[in-house]
Chains A and B, each alone.
Chain A
Amino acid sequence: MYAYDELDRTIINERVEEFRDQVKRRLSGELTEDEFKMLRLQNGVYLQLHAYMFRVAIPYGTLSSKQLRALAHVARRYDRGYGHFTTRQNIQFNWIKLAELPDALADLAEVGIHAMQTSGNNTRNVTSDQWAGVAPGEIEDPRIWSELIRQYTTLHPEFSFLPRKFKFAITASEHDRAAIKVHDIGLRLHKNEANETGFEVLVGGGLGRTPFIGKTIKPFVHGHDLLSYVEAILRVYNQYGRRDNIYKARMKILVHELGIEKFAKEVEDEWLQMSDSALTIDDQVIEDIRSRFSYPAYEKLPQMPDELKKAAHDPQFEAWRRNSVAPHKVPGYAIVTLSLKPVGGPPGDATAEQMDAIADLADKYSFGEIRVGHEQNLALPHVARRDLPVLWKALDKIGVATPNVNLVSDIIACPGLDYCSLANARSIPIAQELTRRFANHETASMIGRLHINISGCINACGHHHVGHIGILGVEKNGEEFYQITIGGRADENAEVGTLIGPAVPYGDVADVVEDIVEAYLALRARPDEIFIDTVKRLGVEPFRERVYATR
């Protein structure tokens, strides 16, 4: 966990005061909406269907219990008692009043939470693996580097008015839980032969209207050069990204139009001209950031404590443990995922009461730390295995122990037309119905790992392109229709899904998904061949036949 020092806090506070002044000038008319809009976006404030929406940053998905309680407070005091965790490890509040925003921001600033650059044409939250720092086999904690980049990109005078938004993601594990291949800059931390830390740099990934998988621009950038290299990329993008058409302004379009070799050369040319660099990261710099990261004082604990042995006879506990508990790099500990996908519930939402309860449980069982994943679930990253049975009971009581993590009912969905002014169709009710159709835990387990992603429009905030099953809401003659894709994935083998046929109406979507699942069950080579592998083996055709036979 990173602890903000005086300087970090000062920046946040100064930003709050600036925004307070900007809101005042907006409400008095001194600033027009045209002048104000980009300023409010730079503080995470959108205008949506019913109200403003407020997006708060959770840097690399790490929260302290104190911070989670502050989010609960904002939900209660300034909103309607709940918040929504997003696919970029942020949290959104849907009913916020512009006039009260400076106060909400001031309350959050007290615990080191901000909303800087969570929207706007600037550099957004640097996301990472929600298991960073605790995953077995991780090379080193990527969050140190995430924090370095966060500071470097915050209120950067040269890059605050880019052609379009810019997103970073970092992974330090072989299995990429941060989806780096669909980010503007994706960083894969690894070591060279001299055992020095560096990054494979990928550029030009992104979803939205025109999805692209990122391409490697440099296989190894030494850690010392990370910031100067990133500056070179941002400078090339700032100068040459398109400004005439917002649908062609992302860096993925520039990379695509120039080609990766030419783009790499532009960056290299720029980088080589950056002599010395005040941006060189030496060991002192890394130590400085690392010194403000704290790690738990783990105890020496048994991997198979008595409490766990005793609880094994409880089939419900076992079902949850097998589904939601993952191995930890420290023996005797575990990573616990808290499902925010209850049957019939809107995916990724948590009430203020739940947030407070989770904060208390984090204090008791996870050294006061919580994580937010881009799958819109939470995690407690430092749980002693002996505490699993008692923790489970407590989680179950507050409704965050549905044993469906990574299963068919663990759906990722954007807010959709119920909330969002960009949407063509609703996504939440589709997700809710699907959780009802697949509510039976045995069935869901038997189906196995299956990621469904739902987006209410082509902006793809639900990441439908990289869903094993992707669902995209479109509009046809004033009615809601949905295009279905299969075969997408977001990890180190990232690829975009394939359309299986013409869009289907709202009422048919759940039936279609059931048909796809049935086809999979009939076609899979073995029970442990997961859905995405069956699609890879057989292609889309057998699924298309099944779904459209009677449609």
Chain B
Amino acid sequence: MPLVRGGKIVTDPLIHVADDAELPGEGSILVSAAQFLENPEAVASRAGKTGVSWPNNRDIDDLVPWLGRLASVALVFPTFRDGRAYSQARLLRERHGYKGELRATGQVLRDQFVFMLRAGFDAFEVRKETDAEAFAATVKRYSVFYQPTGDGRLTALHRRMQLRHSESAGQ
């Protein structure tokens, strides 16, 4: 499954570690929430980058204390129609100031890329090769956004305000 970061297909720097496997002492890994929570201090302290995959039916509260020490949080879309991870993503980014990689996993399809970016995702385990290849073009679909999220894009409202101010300034 191709990983898209920075608008391009890249090699996944994280190794997915199965629940019953030993955690490597070094190297970059992605572990499940269940495994992480067995001994979060130990996992977070390991040398090498650590990412945690968090289920979409669990509050992120238990993850929040560890955010500063994680290189990646992977959230899940069991089907593309299950939108709980969008809320989790926004809370992680906007309420808890999470700055690491926020990865979308599960049924990640082309027609949700813009929503995901706006919610704060910056890495995507894309289901279809063709969708991954179309990523850069797809995210240009929309140039106007009504509502603010933490993504820094100017909302329509702000653009209108700016226009007003520049118009009245120019008079």
Among listed B2-10, B41-49, B157-165, interface-contacting one: B157-165
Docked complex: A96-137 residues within 8 A CB-CB of B: 121
CB distance from A90 to the nearest CB of B (A): 20
Docked complex: B112-165 residues within 8 A CB-CB of A: 114-116, 118-119, 130, 141-149, 155-157, 159-161, 164
Indicate if the CB atoms of A278 and B148 lie closer than 8 Å: yes
From A22, A35, A238, B83 is in contact (CB under 8 Å) with: A238
Q: What 1/0 flags go to A151-178 for Cβ under 8 Å of B? A: 1111111111110000000000000000
Q: Is B12 an interface residue (CB 8 A)?
A: no
Indicate if the CB atoms of B86 and A238 lie closer than 8 Å: yes
Indicate if the CB atoms of B87 and A158 lie closer than 8 Å: yes
Q: How many of chain A's residues touch chain B, expressed as a range?
A: 35 or more
From B81, B114, B143, B156, A38 is in contact (CB under 8 Å) with: B81
CB distance from B62 to the nearest CB of A (A): 15
Tally chain B residues at the interface, Cβ within 8 Å: 34
Interface of B is mostly: helix
Indicate if the CB atoms of B156 and A158 lie closer than 8 Å: no
Q: Which residues on A sit within 8 Å (CB–CB) of B146?
A: 11, 151-152, 154-156
Indicate if the CB atoms of B83 and A161 lie closer than 8 Å: yes
Q: Which residues on A sit within 8 Å (CB–CB) of B84?
A: 238-239, 243
Q: Is B14 an interface residue (CB 8 A)?
A: no
Indicate if the CB atoms of B142 and A158 lie closer than 8 Å: no
Residue on B with the closest CB to A37?
B81
Q: Which residues on B sit within 8 Å (CB–CB) of A7?
A: 144, 156, 159-160
Known: A14-B143, A121-B81, A273-B95. A157 touches B118 (CB 8 A): yes
From A38, A154, A243, B80 is in contact (CB under 8 Å) with: A38
Indicate if the CB atoms of A14 and B83 lie closer than 8 Å: no
A22–B115 Cα gap in the complex (Å)? Answer: 16
Indicate if the CB atoms of A160 and B156 lie closer than 8 Å: no
Q: Is B90 an interface residue (CB 8 A)?
A: yes
A79–B81 Cα gap in the complex (Å)? Answer: 30
Indicate if the CB atoms of A288 and B83 lie closer than 8 Å: no
Indicate if the CB atoms of A243 and B82 lie closer than 8 Å: yes
Q: Which residues on A sit within 8 Å (CB–CB) of B161?
A: 284, 288
Indicate if the CB atoms of B115 and A160 lie closer than 8 Å: yes
Indicate if the CB atoms of A14 and B90 lie closer than 8 Å: no
Indicate if the CB atoms of B90 and A158 lie closer than 8 Å: yes
Indicate if the CB atoms of A30 and B130 lie closer than 8 Å: yes
Given contacts A18-B142, A158-B149, 4 further A-B contacts (CB under 8 A): A10-B143, A35-B80, A155-B146, A279-B147
User: 7 closest pairs, A vs B, by CB?
Assistant: A161-B83, A157-B118, A278-B148, A157-B115, A7-B156, A158-B86, A151-B146
15 chain-A/chain-B pairs, Cβ below 8 angstroms? A7-B159, A7-B160, A11-B142, A11-B156, A18-B142, A38-B81, A153-B147, A155-B142, A157-B116, A158-B87, A160-B83, A235-B87, A239-B88, A279-B148, A288-B161
Residues of chain A touching chain B, judged by Cβ–Cβ distance below 8 Å, are 5, 7-8, 10-11, 14, 17-18, 22, 30, 35, 38-39, 121, 151-162, 235, 238-239, 243, 273, 278-279, 284-285, 288
